[in-house]
Chain A
Amino acid sequence: MTTVASAATGVPATGIPAAAWHHRHLIDLDVVTWPEIELIMRTTEEMKHVLARPIRKVPALNGRRVTTLFYEASTRTRVSFETAARNLSADVVSVSTATSSVTKGESLVDTIRTLEALGAEILVLRHSVSGAPYLAAEIFGGHVLNGGDGWHAHPTQALLDLYTMREHIPGGDLHGRKVAIVGDILHSRVARSNIWSLTAAGADLWLCGPATLLRGMDRWAGAWAGGAIPGHGRFNVTSDIDAALRDADVVMGLRIQRERMSSGLLPSLREYSARFQLNAERMSLAKPDAIVMHPGPMNEGVEIAPDVATSGRSVITDQVTNGVAVRMALLYLLAGSHDAAYEPAHEGAR
């Protein structure tokens, strides 16, 4: 008899998978297993129920301190995290680098040490340098939640994307469903995190954009398709927008950043729009009930036509709403994770 409590609580016979959360930090989805993603999705569902209540607040993280540290501009991600933390009754400290000692030259490491000394337990970090959260995790005693780092990863965005797709795809199963992500893949942490979750979900994933903005992705896709990394699904990389959109169930646009023009990767915004903009005509290639997504902020008229962004197929505002629920789920799961093996519970087996 090794686990007395599992006998006491009973092995779930009614379809509650026994997945548990083991990660102290969430930096990218590459180390998150499919059962763990399912756990996040299920916890998100419960958080959505909380958001539907008359009082949209539960005391789960009462007295816990969540600090958001953003080295890049952000509206929705920061507000979403802070709303999520407050909905769980956490105390929220918001550090914006424009008004902090960072402008006096304080390093990331010193800033994090200072925030920890000031009581931060969960650190939500956005940084323009890929990999910065790994450094943060090394020095920070609490939990690090990646709010987007460089071109590397944006795991909460990928998870809210997955949740939103499952809400709209009949049956909630992405297996074999065609998902096209169109735009600046090269600089997109959203696309990179989505690769992990969508291939794990069994989706037929297509990444599409101008060849200059797909650089390196074909090698990644080729490595997985060739079985170099076992257990990962295939995905497709193409500059053929029609092939990417044809019979798609989900079409996601990514923002084209104006600063890319100066680096010679794109001749002009007009050229991009002419060849890759998600407009009504191109969308007619996708399935009639295909949904349209965008992680925001949008450049309407560049990567996406205004009528497509606001059409009945668009679930862009659902993404924003679901973002709060997903982030509540992750804050909750991270706050309950421990490195220490077992600490006795109060009322587990009784």
Chain B
Amino acid sequence: MTDRQIMTGDEIRRAIVRISHEIVEKQAGTQGLAIVGIQRRGVPLATRIAGAIEEHEGVRLPVGALDITFYRDDLSLVAQQPIVKGTDLPFDLNGATIVLVDDVLYTGRTIRAAMDALIDFGRPRAIRLAVLIDRGHRELPIRADHVGKNVPTSREEIVQVHVAEIDGLDEVSIARRLRAPETAPAAD
């Protein structure tokens, strides 16, 4: 297996700052905005985006974490039940504009599940999507509003996002799958 780095820590940082500006620009301000990260690596990314917005707008936006495990459509396809990591939405979703944040956008099924999960908590005015990596191969009609980097990939490749909060470093790399994983759940 050969790992190829496609984003450095600095590049990740700049992408997050750019996305944070885009979010505020699209919304024409920060009124009614809330940032929600999808477990696990979307959560630290959401916190960083909110931090960047606070830095240049002086406004602290509510940040939430969303676990989509119970909303997946592939329960009977995964070898083991994914481990639930917790949902924490400490604000009222009704009428808010929610920016969903995830590390990689691939088939779109995670985002479909995330939207279903969010709507069970209330009726947001709008849901937008920000991702660090868009690697293509969509299976559902879903697109991101804010993308850190578009990365053309083949289905045999794996995009690995590492964030300091979980993995100890910031890096995105791409690897070729040698053989199918045996027991690991479709967690993220």
A residues with CB within 8 A of B = 1-10, 13-14, 16, 19-22, 39, 42-43, 46, 49-50, 53-55, 57-61, 64, 88, 332-333, 335-338, 340-350
Minimum CB distance partner of A20 in chain B: B80
How many angstroms between the C-alpha atoms of A21 and B80 in the bound complex?
A: 7
Of B12-20, B56-64, B155-163, the stretch lying at the interface with chain A is B155-163
User: A14 and B79: CB pair below 8 A?
Assistant: no
Please report whether the interface of chain B is mostly helix, strand, loop or mixed according to DSSP.
Answer: loop
Q: Bin chain B's interface residue count.
A: 35 or more
Of B26-34, B46-54, B82-90, B142-150, the stretch lying at the interface with chain A is B82-90
How many angstroms between the C-alpha atoms of A344 and B155 in the bound complex?
A: 13
Contacts of A333 in B (CB 8 A): 81
Contacts of B166 in A (CB 8 A): 10, 13-14
Task: Knowing A3-B182, A42-B84, A338-B79 are in contact, say whether A350-B104 is a contact too (CB < 8 A).
Answer: yes
12 contacting pairs across A/B (C-beta < 8 A): A4-B180, A5-B158, A7-B160, A14-B166, A60-B70, A336-B76, A338-B80, A341-B182, A346-B186, A347-B106, A348-B186, A350-B159
How many angstroms between the C-alpha atoms of A19 and B183 in the bound complex?
A: 11
Q: Of B106, B120, B178, which is within 8 A of A350 by CB?
A: B106
Q: Tell me the minimal C-beta distance from B114 to chain A in angstroms.
A: 12
Minimum CB distance partner of B67 in chain A: A46
Minimum CB distance partner of B188 in chain A: A9
Task: Knowing A6-B184, A10-B167, A13-B168 are in contact, say whether A343-B79 is a contact too (CB < 8 A).
Answer: yes
User: B177 and A4: CB pair below 8 A?
Assistant: yes
Q: Tell me the minimal C-beta distance from B4 to chain A in angstroms.
A: 14
Give the top 10 A-B pairs by smallest Cβ distance, nearest first: A336-B81, A348-B186, A345-B186, A5-B184, A5-B181, A58-B70, A60-B70, A350-B106, A46-B84, A20-B80
User: B75 and A61: CB pair below 8 A?
Assistant: yes
How many angstroms between the C-alpha atoms of A7 and B181 in the bound complex?
A: 10
Minimum CB distance partner of B71 in chain A: A59
Contacts of B77 in A (CB 8 A): 343-346
Contacts of A54 in B (CB 8 A): 120-122
Q: Tell me the minimal C-beta distance from B135 to chain A in angstroms.
A: 7
How many angstroms between the C-alpha atoms of A328 and B159 in the bound complex?
A: 33
Contacts of A14 in B (CB 8 A): 166
How many cross-chain pairs have Cβ atoms below 8 Å apart between A and B? Answer: 159
How many angstroms between the C-alpha atoms of A338 and B19 in the bound complex?
A: 41
Q: Tell me the minimal C-beta distance from B149 to chain A in angstroms.
A: 15
How many angstroms between the C-alpha atoms of A246 and B75 in the bound complex?
A: 48
Contacts of B181 in A (CB 8 A): 3-6, 342, 348-349
How many angstroms between the C-alpha atoms of A2 and B71 in the bound complex?
A: 29
User: B109 and A347: CB pair below 8 A?
Assistant: yes
How many angstroms between the C-alpha atoms of A5 and B184 in the bound complex?
A: 6
User: A3 and B84: CB pair below 8 A?
Assistant: no
Q: Of A4, A42, A58, A337, which is within 8 A of B1 by CB?
A: A4
How many angstroms between the C-alpha atoms of A57 and B119 in the bound complex?
A: 12
How many angstroms between the C-alpha atoms of A9 and B72 in the bound complex?
A: 17
B187 contacts the other chain (Cβ, under 8 Å)?
Answer: yes
Q: Of A1, A21, A49, A342, which is within 8 A of B87 by CB?
A: A49
Interface core residue of A8, A43, A333 (most chain B CB under 10 Å)? A8
Q: Give 13 A-B pairs besides A1-B1, A20-B80, A349-B184 with Cβ atoms closer than 8 angstroms.
A: A4-B181, A4-B184, A5-B181, A13-B167, A16-B85, A21-B81, A46-B86, A53-B120, A60-B71, A60-B72, A335-B81, A345-B74, A347-B110
User: B75 and A60: CB pair below 8 A?
Assistant: yes
Task: Knowing A4-B177, A14-B166, A54-B122 are in contact, say whether A348-B185 is a contact too (CB < 8 A).
Answer: yes
Interface core residue of B160, B162, B168 (most chain A CB under 10 Å)? B160
